[in-house]
């Protein structure tokens, strides 16, 4: 049976950040993920915003980790190569009453120590973002806010952690645990078993169930659903900065988000639901979102919508992050209730959890780490013709365009597969193939064939996102039955 110093349950953004931190030490670490690929739970449907540290009071743990995490992304990007851009956030007000809330947030940001905040009048706002509705009254500008590709970020953290010796177990759904001497014995739903001295519960929506499995604290995670809509990159509404309305008590509101890759996302809604897997979207919500964003950016049109999706925020009573050493189960660290601004806070969550493990007796010995862990991988959409031609000389696949909408080469698909992403969604999240306006209508067949060629799988084994999400159920007869 495999033995580890630490087992991290859940390879979302929190678990992946912890894994990345621990990979810098002389430790044997296991990262356990119930899905077919990492980041497939809460993280994949994240809005991808690096928040600016003004929404929450510094008295909360989440605000402190958000402020700290925000500052760590350049360093991480240098080491791990993922799409991230500090393109700034605008909070926009459409009345004097809303301006009052803007001033409160502005003062909170200042008190939190956020730098370069700017209160803006109408003219300054329209200069910063000409696509804003001319009805805007004022707002404030947070230059240190940014955008990130959430799945690419999780992929990079896990890949970096793996380079540092962390062992990843996918399709490992924790089902049972038993304390045996120094060790936790952890059994998956499929009967696979490993042992670890410390356990980190970063199970997202299911952190409550995992806590129960280990006999730790009892609490309830309630999912709060958020629907998002993706617009064609040709939309008239392509803004350059993240546009926030003045927030309400329950959420930061419906945003207009320019993704790092040049598309526009609108959303998310915020709706408490019972079923943790209830990730459906509804047409009422689409129309509500459209009405709200059109108020801010009038050029947005329903005809620009190319796809929709929904995700879940794992919320807990008290509304703060719950990151602590368990008082009930030995050597068990809770990382629960990580909702917004969890992605922004994640680099700091990793460090914080590492420190908690140390406090709980784990011996940390640093090892030599390379400066850049993952080499830069450049996509053809970011290359000049000369650069593509140079790459083509070594590998013709760089000049074979598989996804026409997002201009993805066969070389990028193969790279995703070699980095361990063998489901259609995994490849989509890594490369963007199928994320464009045709939504995979033209490239799905080609990608299935490339997966089969590279991995030796049969077409019937290829899935959308693991489990029973098969694309092809059989083949036509070939000759004699």
Partner 1 sequence: MKELNYDVVVIGAGAAGLATAEVTASAGRSTLVIDRDDFAGGVLMQCIHNGFGLHHFKEELTGPEYAERLESAARNAGAEFLLQTTVMDFNLADNENKELLALSPEYGVMRITAKAVMLAMGCRERNRGNIGIPGRRPAGIFTAGLAQRLINMSGLLPGKSAVIIGSGDIGLIMARRLTWSGIPVKAVVEIRPFPSGLTRNIVQCLNDFNIPLYLGHTVSKINGADRVESVEISPLVDGVPDSSRSFTIECDTVLLSAGLIPENELSKRGGVTINMTTGGPLVDAWRMTNIPGVFAGGNVLHVHDLADYASDEAALAGRHILDYLNGKRPGREFPVAAGGNLRYVTPNEYIPGEKTQFFMRSLIVEDDAELIVSLDGQEIMRKKLRFVKPPEMLSVEVPGELTARGGQLSFALNGGGR
Partner 2 sequence: MKRELICISCPIGCHIQAEMTAAGEVEVSGNRCPRGKAYALNELTDPKRMVTSVVACASKELPFVPVRSSAPVSMALIGELLDTLRALEVAPPLASGSVVLSDFKGSGVNIITTRSVKE
**Which residue, 249 or 477, is less far from partner 2 as judged by CB?**
477
List the single partner that 85 binds among partner 2, partner 1, none, CB under 5 to 8 Å by kind. Answer: none
By CB under 8 A, residue 28 contacts partner 1: no
Q: How far from 164 is each of 75, 157, 362, 426, CA to CA, in Å? A: 17, 11, 18, 22
User: Per CB under 8 A, which of residues 461..480 are in contact with partner 2?
Assistant: 476-480
In the complex, the smallest distance separating the C-beta of residue 386 from partner 1, rounded to whole angstroms, is: 7
Read out DSSP for 228-265?
EEEE-TT-TT--SSEEEE---SS----EEEE-TTS-EE
**Residue 481 interacts with partner 2 (CB under 8 A): yes or no:** yes
**Rounded to an integer, what distance in angstroms lies between the CA atom of residue 312 and that of residue 65?**
21
Please check whether residue 6 is in contact with residue 198, taking contact to mean a CB–CB distance below 8 angstroms: yes
Q: How many CB atoms neighbour CB 478 within 10 A?
A: 6
Question: Rounded to an integer, what distance in angstroms lies between the CA atom of residue 156 and that of residue 377?
Answer: 11
Q: Pick out residues in 402-441 that bind partner 1 (CB under 8 A).
A: 404-405, 407, 409-410, 437-441
CA dihedral 256, 261, 263, 269 (to 10 degrees): -40
Q: Which residues are the active-site residues? A: 51
Which of left, alpha, beta for 38 (phi over 0: left; psi -120 to 50: alpha)? beta
From the list partner 2, partner 1, none, which binds 405 (C-beta under 5 to 8 Å, kind-based)? partner 1
Q: Does 400 bind partner 1 (CB under 8 A)?
A: yes
Q: State which residue, 249 or 481, has the beta carbon closest to partner 2.
A: 481
Partner touching 379 among partner 1, partner 2, none, CB below 5 to 8 Å by kind: none
Residue 370 contacts which entry, partner 1, partner 2, none (Cβ below 5-8 A, type-dependent): none
Query: How many Å apart are CA 345 and CA 72, to the nearest integer?
Result: 9
**Any idea how long the chain is?**
481
Q: How far is the CB of 446 from partner 2 (least distance, A)?
A: 15
- Kindly give the pairing relationship between strand 84-85 and strand 255-258: unpaired
Mark residues 279-308: x for contact with partner 1 by CB under 8 A, - for none: xxxxx--x---------------x--xxxx
Q: How far apart are CA 429 and CA 346, in angstroms?
A: 19
User: Would you say 285 or 315 has its CB closer to partner 1?
Assistant: 285
| 249 lies in the site for partner 2, by CB under 8 A | no
DSSP 147-210: EE-HHHHHHHHHHHHHHTTPEEESS--EEEEEEETTEEEEEETTS-EEEEEEEEE--GGGHHHH
Is residue 180 within the footprint of partner 2 (CB under 8 A)?
A: no
Residue 182 vs 445, nearer CB to partner 1: 445
Residue number with CB closer to partner 1 (328 or 382): 382
Chosen residue from 77, 173, 298, 309 binding partner 1 by CB under 8 A: 309
Residue pointed to by tokens 């259609």: 424
Q: In this structure, are residues 160 and 76 in contact, taking their beta carbons and an 8 Å threshold?
A: no
Binding site for partner 1 (CB under 8 A): 229-230, 234, 277, 279-283, 286, 302, 305-309, 380, 385-386, 388-389, 392-393, 396-397, 399-401, 404-405, 407, 409-410, 437-442, 444-445, 448-449, 459, 463-465, 467-476, 478
Binding site for partner 2 (CB under 8 A): 476-481
């Amino acid at each position: 049976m495999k033995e580890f110093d630490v087992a991290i349950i859940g390879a979302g953004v929190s678990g992946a950040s912890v894994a990345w931190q621990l990979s810098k030490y002389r430790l044997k670490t296991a990262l356990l993920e119930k899905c077919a690929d990492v980041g497939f739970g809460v993280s994949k449907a994240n809005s991808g915003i690096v928040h600016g540290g003004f929404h929450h009071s510094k008295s909360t743990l989440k605000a402190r980790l958000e402020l700290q995490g925000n500052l760590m992304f350049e360093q991480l990007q240098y080491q791990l190569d993922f799409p991230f851009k500090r393109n700034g956030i605008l909070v926009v007000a459409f009345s004097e009453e809303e301006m009052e809330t803007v001033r409160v947030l502005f003062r909170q940001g200042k008190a939190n120590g956020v730098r370069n905040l700017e209160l803006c009048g109408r003219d300054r706002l329209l200069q910063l973002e000409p696509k804003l509705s001319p009805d805007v009254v004022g707002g404030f500008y947070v230059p240190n806010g940014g955008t990130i590709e959430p799945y690419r970020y999780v992929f990079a953290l896990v890949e970096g952690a793996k380079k540092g010796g962390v062992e990843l177990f996918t399709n490992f759904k924790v089902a049972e645990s038993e304390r045996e001497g120094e060790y936790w014995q952890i059994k998956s739903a499929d009967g696979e078993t490993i042992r670890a001295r410390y356990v980190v519960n970063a199970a997202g929506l299911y952190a409550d169930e995992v806590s129960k499995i280990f006999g730790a604290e009892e609490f309830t995670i309630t999912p709060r659903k958020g629907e998002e809509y993706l617009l064609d990159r040709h939309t008239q509404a392509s803004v350059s900065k993240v546009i926030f309305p003045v927030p309400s008590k329950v959420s930061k509101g419906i945003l207009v988000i320019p993704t790092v890759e040049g598309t526009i996302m609108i959303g998310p809604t915020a709706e408490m639901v019972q079923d943790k897997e209830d990730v459906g979207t509804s047409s009422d919500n689409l129309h509500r979102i459209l009405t709200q964003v059109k108020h801010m950016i009038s050029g947005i049109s329903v005809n620009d919508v190319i796809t929709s999706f929904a995700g879940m925020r794992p919320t807990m009573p008290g509304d703060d992050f719950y990151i602590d050493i368990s008082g009930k189960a030995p050597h068990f660290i809770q990382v629960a209730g990580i909702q917004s601004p969890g992605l922004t806070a994640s680099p700091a969550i990793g460090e914080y959890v590492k420190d908690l493990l140390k406090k709980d007796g784990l011996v940390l010995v640093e090892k030599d780490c390379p400066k850049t862990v993952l080499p830069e991988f450049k996509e053809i959409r970011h290359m000049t013709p000369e650069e593509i031609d140079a790459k083509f000389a070594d590998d013709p696949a760089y000049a074979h365009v598989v996804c026409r909408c997002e201009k993805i080469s066969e070389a990028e698909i193969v790279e995703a597969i070699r980095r361990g992403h063998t489901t259609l969604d995994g490849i989509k999240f890594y490369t963007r193939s199928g994320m464009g306006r045709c939504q995979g209508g033209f490239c799905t067949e080609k990608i299935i064939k490339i997966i089969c060629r590279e991995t030796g799988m049969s077409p019937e084994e290829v899935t959308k996102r693991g489990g029973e999400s098969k694309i092809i159920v059989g083949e036509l007869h070939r000759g004699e039955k």
